[in-house]
Amino acid sequence: MSVAALRRAARESVSGLPRAFWWLWTSTLVNRLGAFVATYTALYLTLERGYSASYAGLVAALHGLGGVVSSLGAGVMADRLGRRPTLLLAQTSTAASVALLGFMEHPVAIAAVAGLVGMTSNASRPAVQAMMADIVRPKDRVRAFSLNYWAINLGFAISSAGAGLVAEYSYLAGFLGEAALTLVCAVVVFVKLPESRPERTATGDPAEPEISLGTVLRDGRYMGVVGLSFLLALIFMQSSVALPVAMGMDGWSPSDYGFVIALNGVLIVALQIPVTRLIEHRDPQRLLVVSALLAGYGFGLTAFAGSLGVYALTVVVWTLAEIVNSPTQMGLVVRLSPVHGRGRYQGVHTLSWSAAALLAPLMAGYAIDHFGAAWLWASCAVIGTVAALGYWLLMRGLPDGPAASGDQAPPSAVPVQPAPPAEPVATAAVPATSVPTASVPAEPSCEGGTGAEIRIATGTETMAGAGPEAGTGTGTADAAAVGKSAV
């Protein structure tokens, strides 16, 4: 491929996305440059503090429990209060709790603060994922999720190698570094990004049902997707839970683990965008089935790893699964989510990863201590097979095109003045024939813009306008996977 062709492909991959998305993308990149806690907590507890794998699993499980507690509440907050206040509270709380964790010494205190970190860090995800669906056109969402996930892994690849070196000298420096970058990220997005929550108009139809958590839980197909997401999360979590512990028990150093896990980020940085261009319009059922099998058997191959080269090979296999699964899964989640319930739907989806973060460490710690790591890797292969079968069954008969999300056509933009703040009456129901609008910062061309306020007619949703001081936070499309949970 010529240089001109490569430039054209790169330009097409990033064109047409609103300015607000790129601020969100930048915040994600900055945040992931400080990814230390999720990656190195297990090594910190087992090598630095001398605790057992079971205790490290317990602490990681409490981190996951915190996420379970906050996921649903944060989803409701994102719908009721807005994306911006939810994200600001989550980001600043995360920075404080991560810094505090670095100073804890008593095992009970470590476990308690780890739960707090899990609660605060997971609170940002539903709002971020809902905001991305708010500001990006339906036809561009898979590409947008892919680009945002690419930013996660670019930061993760850099931070993994660097944090491995930091861990050999000072784990405390790693905790404080992550806290500082999280706080910087919160401040930046607070200044640059607008509120995007869809608002109901005053002329609503009283017969339109309100979206509640009960609505989500009664949505059979969607809950099936959540369940399969949970199974895959159990597998992917092992990269930051079981893999560092198993490598440490085999005599490998934190730097060795840092090298192996950094390969995951490097591959995604190199392949995520071109692979997404190949799969963007392909059958999501096949993509999810293949990704589930690659994830299960990729981790299953770790049972045969006796050298860094074999460990690296297993990472290549399950990284391919991750590249395919993440944007495809998130596109499906948004496709099945009603516009005015995106926060709640995303909260329940986030719950699948939080629940996995709770159970995966317990499963890993118990299996490694009582049966050996080989049994754990074999279990991953079985779970991946079950998930693949589940996707094949669940997605049969899924209609083509947008579903419950209400996105029927790509939006068109016409510059207007900034919209005034929404009145309290905006919580009323909206009629099926109304045509609300969305207000986000946009650009006149595919790569740059004036930052002027625009209205985007979607036929189904209205995003409350906000001034330039509005903002969001970080976290993204299943970023919890592979130890890269958004903090």
Residue type, 78: A
Q: In terms of residue numbers, what domain contains 184?
A: 15-196+219-402+472-483
Torsion 403-406-408-412 (CA) sign: negative
Q: What is the mean pLDDT of residues 261-280?
A: 82
Q: What is the mean pLDDT of residues 138-162?
A: 78
Q: Give the model confidence (pLDDT) of 314-372 as tens digits.
A: 999 999 999 999 888 888 888 888 877 888 888 888 888 878 877 887 788 888 888 88
Residue 414 has pLDDT above 60, yes or no: no
Residue 148 has pLDDT above 70, yes or no: yes
Q: Which residue has the higher pLDDT, 411 or 186?
A: 186
Q: Which pLDDT value is given to residue 5?
A: 63
3-21 per-residue burial string, b: 16 or more CB within 10 A, e: under 16: eeeeeeeeeebbebbbbbb
Q: Which residue has the higher pLDDT, 252 or 427?
A: 252
Q: Which pLDDT value is given to residue 240?
A: 80
Residue 178 has pLDDT above 80, yes or no: yes
Q: Is 268 domain-assigned? A: yes
- If pLDDT is split at 50, 70 and 90, which confidence band does 4 have? low
Q: Is 415 domain-assigned? A: no
Torsion of CA 260, 266, 267, 270, to 10 degrees: -170
Residue 437 has pLDDT above 60, yes or no: no
Q: Is 451 domain-assigned? A: no
Q: Which pLDDT value is given to residue 1?
A: 53
CA-nearest of 326, 342, 368, 392 to 28 is 326
Indicate the range of 13-17, 191-195, 300-304, 392-396 predicted with least confidence: 13-17
Residue type, 411: P
- If pLDDT is split at 50, 70 and 90, which confidence band does 295 have? very high
Whole-model pTM: value is 0.63
CA-nearest of 35, 481, 482, 480 to 239 is 482
240-272 per-residue burial string, b: 16 or more CB within 10 A, e: under 16: bbbbbbbbbeeebebebbbbbbbbbbbbbbebb
Q: Is 270 domain-assigned? A: yes
Structurally, the chain folds into a number of domains equal to 1
Residue 409 has pLDDT above 90, yes or no: no
Q: Is 455 domain-assigned? A: no
Q: Is 234 domain-assigned? A: yes
Q: What is the mean pLDDT of residues 279-292?
A: 87
Q: Which pLDDT value is given to residue 401?
A: 44
Q: What are the φ and ψ backbone dihedral angles of 282, each rounded to 5 degrees?
A: -95, 170
Mean pLDDT of the chain: 75
Q: What is the mean pLDDT of residues 420-424?
A: 44
Residue 411 has pLDDT above 50, yes or no: no
Q: Which residue has the higher pLDDT, 299 or 60?
A: 299
Given a contact cutoff of 8 angstroms between Cβ atoms, the answer to whether 161 and 258 are in contact is yes
Q: Which residue has the higher pLDDT, 271 or 430?
A: 271
Q: Is 79 domain-assigned? A: yes
Q: Which residue has the higher pLDDT, 171 or 112?
A: 112
Indicate the range of 125-139, 150-164, 202-216, 399-413 predicted with least confidence: 399-413
Q: Which pLDDT value is given to residue 6?
A: 58
CATH code assigned at 322? 1.20.1250.20
- If pLDDT is split at 50, 70 and 90, which confidence band does 142 have? confident
Indicate the range of 177-186, 195-204, 338-347 predicted with least confidence: 195-204
- If pLDDT is split at 50, 70 and 90, which confidence band does 230 have? very high
Q: Is 168 domain-assigned? A: yes
Burial class (CB in 10 A: 0-12, 13-18, 19+), 306: exposed
Q: Give the model confidence (pLDDT) of 12-68 as tens digits.
A: 677 778 888 888 888 778 777 766 776 677 778 887 788 887 788 788 778 878 877
Q: Which pLDDT value is given to residue 62?
A: 83
Q: What is the mean pLDDT of residues 141-146?
A: 82
